[in-house]
Amino acid sequence: MSLKIQYWNCAAGFLKKFDYVKDLIVEHGVYIFFVAESEIRYDDNLDIFSLCGYEVVVSETITSRGKARILCFKRNTIKIIGGLNPQNDIIALESDGRVIANEFLLS
């Protein structure tokens, strides 16, 4: 199966850009959409990013540093896999035996 994967560095301000991203995901039938520099805070309500058929995943630094630099929209059929490191922003996914990961190294 061919996966449509997109990556975008939004340079902060993701909340204001969500409608643009939502349109891209829906129009192009994207399976996985990574957003770098999302700056999603621990107290942000992720439910506002709901898309039918997708789950929103944020990197583990949301709990250790109070905000996540990486956010991901993934189709519900794609699994999240372990090995996330709270010192770095990493989201690792698995589909049909293939691992898809995005990482933003923190200094």
Largest CA distance in the chain: 37
Give the range of the structural domain holding residue 50, as residue numbers without chain letter.
5-104
pLDDT at 107: 41
pTM above 0.85, yes or no: no
Number of independent structural domains in the chain: 1
Place of tokens 């770095």: 88
CATH label of the domain that carries residue 17: 3.60.10.10
Average pLDDT over residues 87-93: 76
pLDDT at 87: 61
Q: State how far the Cα of 70 lies from the Cα of 58, in Å rounded to an integer.
A: 6
Q: Rg (Cα) of the chain, in Å, rounded?
A: 13
Q: Strand ranges (DSSP E) for 29-66?
A: 32-41, 54-58
**Does 11 have pLDDT greater than 90?**
no
Q: Which tens digit of pLDDT belongs to each residue from 29-55? A: 999 999 988 888 777 788 888 899 999
Cα 88 from chain centroid (whole Å) = 14
